[in-house]
């Protein structure tokens, strides 16, 4: 009985003990498996991507897992442009070096001859731009000229190129001039010193100018401060907080972007501009209205009645202006047919490219004119003399002939280029031949990304003396011939340069001339000198407003 009892007791105790023991064994097994999976995940997904350049034997900025070289920007310690500028200084003796955009490796090219090869001579090997957003997530964004690829890009560029010639800018000038006069006239009845937040002012000007020159819509955003067109523009350019993921989401995770359904252009914004385009086209068809704006030119292109017109040899849009490349200009093949949706898509990207970019250039320009009163005074003298010759009314020809104005605008776009980095994606293998003792042959493969650090090149003392200084005299007749090809790239380089560069220059010049013809721009108590760039914004912004 004792044995039975003991045996029964032993058996009972064993059964009671084995359940938690088994649970512990299972838990330890699961924990070990999880730790093993985690180690493998960290190694293959987080660590190995940061070894790409080391394996290739290419010098690179030391990355950290997940963020690559962008951690200071993510945590708002530095701007992206300053990160790349510092990296270029670190590798100043190298023609190129490796960089990491989160998990995506990119080759930064800072040698001018290599830049020429990639962007011009071997353009067919680097004809595409990398995606911000996967095509499957945002097909509308992918249809814009900015994001089309290969032959698709070439054919659309062929259609759009005639819209942006100097002749077309001349035709649109009056529309833009009227907006600039409203800008200056808004303060006509006021006296003394008027305190103005310049970004708000210039954003409203560029909104109205692009609305009339692109869509044929009359806005007065200085009076009607909450008009729908302006609000949609503000919505489109809101990259605060989580919305900034639109810029780098695909570098972090394509899967994450797809799961979250992140689009570069919000559906509400897209639908608004599609509706505006449709209504504008239908109104013109119904009434026979003809006006020199983008919708008009593109509907002419739609009918096959728009051809590329060479500008007069004596007509110059400015030092920063770029003529269309021979790749496009000399192509006489039949233009691709375009739909109303194509028109809506392309006009939206032109609005996108002008609305914020031009207002920021104007903000930086007025800031430098305040900080450099002698430059402002000299510019005002030229403006006053030109207006006197024109009997008080600026013309397109007189605007384009103003030499000092062009010097000032050219310098502001060197110091603060609209695009701080040019992005290119390889589509054909391209071998970099060694030119320095430490180099070895390296082949850039299709799909690889290449970055051209425009901001860093513009601030390189090898190309510009005292590069941090605002000095329009760099672009006078005596000095501008010393500026080498590809060392000045505010609108990009090669066939894929900004198609709207002449439009943007005309908008900047028209806006600043109208203001300085009536006012002197002076610092106020809220003006902070020197300029401090905001670290919490991807587009260029002042940390202290304007």
Of 168, 144, 165, 166, which is closest to residue 156 (Cα–Cα)? 144
Cβ atoms of 112 and 453 closer than 8 Å = no
9 CB-contact burial (10 Å; exposed 0-12 / middle 13-18 / buried 19+): exposed
Pairing verdict, β 430-432 and 422-425: unpaired
Give Cα separations from 539 to 79, 99, 187, 240, 486 (angstroms): 10, 20, 29, 10, 23
Beta carbons within 10 angstroms of residue 477's beta carbon: 8
Both structure tokens of 316? 């110059």
Q: Quick one: DSSP state of residue 215?
A: I
CA 327, 331, 334, 337 dihedral sign is positive
**CA–CA–CA angle 195, 196, 197 (5° rounding):** 135
Beta carbons within 10 angstroms of residue 241's beta carbon: 8
Beta carbons within 10 angstroms of residue 383's beta carbon: 22
Residue 381 neighbours by CB under 8 Å, 6+ apart:
none
339 CB-contact burial (10 Å; exposed 0-12 / middle 13-18 / buried 19+): exposed
The enclosing H or E element of 442 equals: strand 442-444
Cβ atoms of 102 and 252 closer than 8 Å = yes
CA atoms within 13 A on the CB side of 229: 25
DSSP of 41-75, one letter per residue?
Answer: HIIIIIIGGGGHHHHHT--BPPPBTTTBT-HHHHT
Tell whether 60 is in a known binding site. Answer: no
Rg (CA), the chain: 28
Q: Alpha-carbon dihedral of residues 245, 247, 251, 253, nearest 10 degrees?
A: 30
Residue ranges for the binding site for heme?
498
Residue ranges for the binding site?
498
């Amino acid at each position: 009985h004792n044995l039975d009892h003991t045996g029964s007791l032993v058996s009972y105790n064993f059964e009671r003990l084995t359940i938690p023991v088994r649970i512990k064994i299972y838990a330890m097994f699961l924990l070990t498996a999880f730790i093993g999976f985690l180690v493998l995940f960290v190694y293959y997904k987080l660590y190995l991507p940061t070894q790409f350049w080391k394996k290739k034997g290419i010098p690179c900025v030391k990355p950290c897992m997940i963020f690559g070289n962008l951690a200071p920007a993510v945590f708002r310690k530095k701007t992206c442009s300053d990160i790349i500028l510092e990296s270029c200084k670190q590798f100043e003796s190298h023609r190129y070096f490796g960089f990491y955009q989160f998990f995506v490796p990119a080759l930064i090219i800072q040698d001018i001859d290599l830049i020429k090869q990639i962007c011009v001579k071997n353009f067919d090997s680097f004809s595409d731009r990398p995606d911000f957003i996967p095509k499957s997530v945002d097909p509308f964004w992918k249809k814009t000229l900015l994001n089309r690829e290969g032959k698709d890009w070439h054919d659309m560029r062929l259609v759009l190129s005639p819209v942006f010639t100097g002749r077309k800018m001349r035709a649109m000038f009056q529309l833009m001039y009227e907006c600039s006069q409203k800008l200056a006239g808004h303060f006509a009845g006021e006296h003394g010193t008027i305190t103005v937040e310049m970004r708000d002012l210039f954003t409203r000007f560029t909104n109205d100018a692009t609305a009339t020159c692109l869509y044929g819509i009359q806005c007065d955003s200085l009076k009607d401060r909450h008009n729908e067109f302006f609000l949609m523009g503000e919505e489109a350019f809101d990259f605060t907080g989580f919305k900034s993921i639109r810029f780098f989401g695909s570098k972090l995770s394509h899967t994450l972007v797809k799961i979250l359904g992140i689009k570069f252009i919000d559906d509400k914004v897209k639908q608004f501009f599609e509706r505006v385009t449709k209504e504008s086209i239908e109104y013109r068809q119904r009434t026979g209205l003809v006006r020199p704006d983008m919708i008009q030119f593109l509907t002419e292109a739609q009918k096959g009645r728009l051809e590329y017109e060479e500008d007069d040899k004596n007509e110059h849009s400015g030092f920063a202006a770029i003529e269309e490349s021979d790749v496009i200009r000399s192509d006489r093949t039949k233009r691709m047919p375009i739909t109303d949706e194509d028109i809506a898509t392309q006009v939206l990207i032109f609005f996108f490219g002008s609305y914020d970019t031009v207002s920021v250039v104007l903000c930086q320009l007025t800031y430098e004119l305040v900080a450099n009163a002698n430059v402002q005074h000299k510019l005002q003298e030229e403006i006053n003399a030109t207006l006197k010759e024109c009997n008080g009314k600026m013309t397109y020809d007189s605007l384009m002939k103003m030499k000092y104005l062009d010097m000032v605008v050219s310098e502001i776009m060197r110091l603060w280029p609209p695009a701080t980095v040019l992005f290119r994606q390889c589509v054909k293998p391209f071998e970099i031949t060694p030119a320095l003792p430490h180099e070895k042959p390296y082949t850039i493969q299709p799909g690889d990304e290449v970055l051209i650090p425009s901001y860093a090149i513009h601030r390189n003392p090898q190309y510009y003396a005292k590069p941090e200084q605002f000095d329009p005299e760099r672009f006078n007749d005596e000095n501008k011939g010393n500026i080498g090809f590809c060392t000045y790239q505010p609108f990009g380089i090669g066939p894929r340069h900004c198609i709207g560069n002449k439009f943007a220059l005309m908008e900047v010049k028209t806006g600043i001339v109208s203001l300085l013809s009536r006012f002197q721009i002076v610092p106020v108590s809220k003006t902070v000198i020197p300029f401090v760039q905001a670290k919490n914004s991807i587009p260029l912004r002042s940390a202290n407003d304007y």
